[in-house]
Structures are given as structure tokens and as C-alpha cells.
Structure 1
């Protein structure tokens, strides 16, 4: 809808992971470096975790796009609730091997034979398991057993495990000691900071031919970052709606107020469990103080973390928490805190 209005070649903030839109933030570049390091090592496990929507799948697909197929044969497996009985079949199928109605012993023999042939041909085998948090401990153990395949002193399979933060809890269990010993690098992909959020938005717009239409005020990026918590998928959802609202209002300039209006609209649609929060609309929050905070990435990130947990059922408690965080970050004294308490008392009286 809004693509032709703004002269875009396609939709800039689609939710489906697309490696052509890959943005290398500081965190994403470091995660990619770990994956490339793992490829160079050709053994063991690389573990990448990140919150929902942090860009893990886009990272993986970008890596796959870079691989030289003449040197690396990669299998990308997206797991659901997979147990040990199914994981070997899925791995075999991902490498193009027959797996239906095949006994476990035969599956293992097929996989080992396939991997040996690849190595003999001067190629490497890479297994990427996405959504690894869905694997049961027994399934993870089966993957670890596959890492035992060797030809002389050369490992036959390199594995990347990519999942949400809870996968780290699985790895820390007492039964995962042998897996932990095989992990050669691990990295947690965090949210984007304020500067990265702006660069991310402008990067995606640039991918579809954005030439300054619509104009986006600097303060609008403050609200986008605070409301999304710096999570790429949330940024995409919010920016898509902001552009749609701009198109419907025939606007060629977008302000912080425009973004706030969309955030409020999304909050009302999603109810108490909303994923974005209208930071500027919070009682007791001074806009100039917010601007100063957003200039400091560490402060902005802390504020976004608090805002991400903002719940309608605990409105007053969350507002008070945010006010305290803001005062602490700005280094304000007791007088400001007293003023915030007086504001809260006035709201109660009202």
C-alpha cells in the first residue's frame, strides 16, 4: 500500500527473515564472526542465542548465502519439539539421505558414510539447528554423539546450535557436561542500541530505494528504540505500522508524535500483553530528559529494558519504576524524586 506512495521498490519492514536486508550491528557482526570462526575450526559446536525477534534466523540465512557450496555442504534444520527418536532422521533428511523407515543403526551408518565421502572429496559438512531451545536433552545428546564421527584426527561434522535464551539453561544442566566441553564458542545476541536502531531502520529503508521520503525526525528514532526495546522484529512491526499511518494521512514527514500515536494504537489492540510501550506518553516523564537519556546508549538500553515489561495491570508501579530509573540515570537529587511523588499524589487525587 504505502510502497508506491513513498516510492519504495518493495516492503522494507517485512517480518519474514530475508538475508538481503541483513544489517550488521555490533552484536550481529560479532555473532557472525563466531560462526565464521567455527567454520574455520571445522569441529565442535558454536552456540548462538538471542531473544525472540533478535535476528538469529536472518543471521543464519545470511551466513548460508555466503558459503562456498564447492567447499561446504550445509544442512539447515529448524526444530520443533523434537526428541532423540526423530532428530537423526531429520538430520539425515536435511543432508538429502533416505530416512523414512530406516533403523537407527542404519541411519548412523548412512550419515557416517556420507560424511566420510564429503571429507574425502575435500568438502566440509555443516549442520545448523535453528530454534534449538525446542530440542529435548536426549535430542541434544544425539547431536553430540554425531560430533564423535571422525576420519583419523579430523572431525567430520561441524554443528551450530541457534536458539532462544532458555537453551542456555538446557546446556547448563548436569547431563550436558560433555556437550559443554565440545562448545568452542558461545554468544548471546542482544538488542540494538539507539544508534544501531536508527541505522537499522535507515538501512532497511535504503534497501528499498528510500531517498528521504518520508523524512524522519531524529526524535522519532528515540521513540522507536524505546518502544521496541531494540529488538529488530519489534522495530519492523512498529515501523511498518508507522509507514502505513503516514500513507493514510498522506504525510511525507514523520515525527515522534506520529510514532507515539501508532504505539498507543498498537497497545490498545494488543491489550495488557502489548509488546511496545508509548514511552513519551508515560506520566511524569519529561521529553527533554528522555532526549538526554537516549543520547547515552547504556542509559537508553536500560530504559528500554524497563519499558519492555510495562504492563497495563501494573501501570502505577511501572510508571514509578521508570521515574526512579530516569532519576538515577540522570543523577537527579531528592527534590526531583519528591516532585515525582507529588505528581503521583496529584494523579491519585485526580
Structure 2
């Protein structure tokens, strides 16, 4: 839409987790390093938490892309599943072909055999569960039992939980205290700092093909930080709308007022309660900025 106007090859502020846009801020790099060190230790559970929109799914995909050939990953994006269905999802990720009426015993036996087979090939299997705060408690317990599978030297399966802070509350429950004790590595992802935001914008614009001078004025960046709190998803939503507004006016730089208008159009950025509404902002349309094209 506005790519040609600003000299871009693609839209730079999408909200889909594209690993080519992964930004190595202090938080994201430390989280990635934690994951890489943890999986090479070969033990237990790993937990990554962060507020809505801080980039957990993007980190997960970047992590998978970073792993070498010695690793096999099983990714479940929506783990709101009862124990048997969760086990079936894992079996599917491990490319197991099972009878439709497979019983629980045979299911677990088949998964165990496949894990042992991969271990014999020198492969390390990692199960990654996104939105882990949604996992039912009984399914968390089933996952704990899976980590009992091991050789004399290491676990047959490592599990990485990516979730919102509510995940911590679940893990504090007495009924799954054994699982909480097995979390050997954890990291909490925070928001971008004001300085990080400058680099974040420049990074995404550069990946999208921008070669010009500053596209967001310093005042625009300050307004963007104040409205988003440094939450990457909100930054992307507001930056995209601000670019639309600047384009509609034929401007080649985003100013503070463009960001201000984008903020008014985005409920999640208005007020101290933005962290809890950040997810909803992703579905807000840009209909209210179309006046810029017809003015």
C-alpha cells in the first residue's frame, strides 16, 4: 500500500512472527541464549514468560530456526488440550502413524519407542508449547510424566513452555509442584527500552528495504514509546497506522501527530491498562484512517 512511497519492498510492521524481523534486544537475545544453553544441558523443563505482545512466539520460531541438525522439534501452538489429545499432537509432530482407536498404553509406548529411536540416531527432541498458560493442569501433569523418559545420560524429551505470566500462577499450585521443581531454566521477557525502540524501528525498516534517512522523527518515536510502553506488537500496530497516515498526506516522514492519531484509533494504547488489551489491538482495523486517502 505505502511501500513504494517510502522506498520499501514490503510492509515492515506486520504482527505475524516473521523470523527475518527478529530483533536482538537485550531481552530477546538473553532469552534466546537461555534457550540455547538450556537445551544443550539436556535436562528438564524450560520456561519463557512475558506479557502479551512481547515476542514470545517470534522467539520460539527463531529458536527453532537456530537449532542445528542434531535437534528434532515438535511445536504445538495451541496446547489447550486434554492429556490424550496432547499426546496425540506430540505423536503427530514426531511423524508417528497410529491406529485411530489407539489406546493410552500403546500411544505412550509408541512415543517412547520413537524417542528412543531418535536418541539412538544422536537426535535430541524438544517439545515447544506456545500459549502454555492455557494448558489444563492434568495435561501439565502428563507432560511431567513424559519427562521421566530417559537414558542413563539424558532425558529423551525436553519441554519448553512459552506463556504469559499467568503460567507462573498455575505452576505455583500444590497439585503440580513436582513439575515446577523440574524447571531448570527460565527467563521473563520485558518490553523494549526507549533506546531499543529507536534501533527496533530502524531494524525492521532496513529488513523491509528502507535505505533513506530517518523515517520516524524523534518526537514521533517518543510518542510511540509513551503509547506502546515498548511492547513490540503495539509498536508494530501504531507504526503501521502512522505510516498510513503520513502516506495519505503525501509526507515522507512520520511526525508526532501521525502517531497521536494512530493512538486514538487503537484502544490498547490509550491509558495505563494497555498491557491487558494488547492482544485485542491486533484485530482493530484501519478503517478510521482511510480519510487520509480521500481528503
Structure-1-length-normalised TM-score = 0.76
User: Structure 1 residue 218: deviation in Å?
Assistant: 1.0
User: Structure 1 residue 80: deviation in Å?
Assistant: 4.3
User: Structure 1 residue 248: deviation in Å?
Assistant: 0.8
1:308 aligns with 2:235: no
For 1:276 and 1:55, how far apart are their aligned partners in 2? 17
1:73 aligns with 2:66: no
Relative to structure 1, the CA distance from residue 57 to residue 310 in structure 2 (aligned partners, 3 Å threshold; closer, same or farther) is closer
Deviation per residue, 1:55-74 (Å, 9 max, x gap): 001001111111112x1111
Look up the match of 1:203: 203
Structure having the higher helix fraction is 1
CA contact (8 A) 1:43 1:156 kept: no
CA contact (8 A) 2:79 2:129 kept: no
Look up the match of 2:255: 255
Relative to structure 1, the CA distance from residue 88 to residue 67 in structure 2 (aligned partners, 3 Å threshold; closer, same or farther) is same
Look up the match of 2:92: 93
For 2:139 and 2:188, how far apart are their aligned partners in 1? 22
Q: Which has the higher contact order (CA 8 A, sep 6+)?
A: 2
Deviation per residue, 1:61-91 (Å, 9 max, x gap): 111111112x111111112421223111111
SS at match of 2:88: helix
CA RMSD of aligned residues (A): 1.8
Look up the match of 2:289: none
For 1:310 and 1:123, how far apart are their aligned partners in 2? 40
CA contact (8 A) 1:78 1:130 kept: yes
SS at match of 2:73: strand
Look up the match of 2:246: 246
Structure-2-length-normalised TM-score = 0.89
SS at match of 1:254: coil
SS at match of 2:23: coil
User: Structure 1 residue 164: deviation in Å?
Assistant: 1.1
1:2 aligns with 2:2: yes
Look up the match of 1:29: 29
Structure 1: runs of 5 or more not aligned: 268-273, 279-305, 312-350
Relative to structure 1, the CA distance from residue 164 to residue 205 in structure 2 (aligned partners, 3 Å threshold; closer, same or farther) is same
Task: Count residues with an aligned counterpart.
Answer: 276
User: Structure 1 residue 180: deviation in Å?
Assistant: 1.3
Look up the match of 1:277: 270
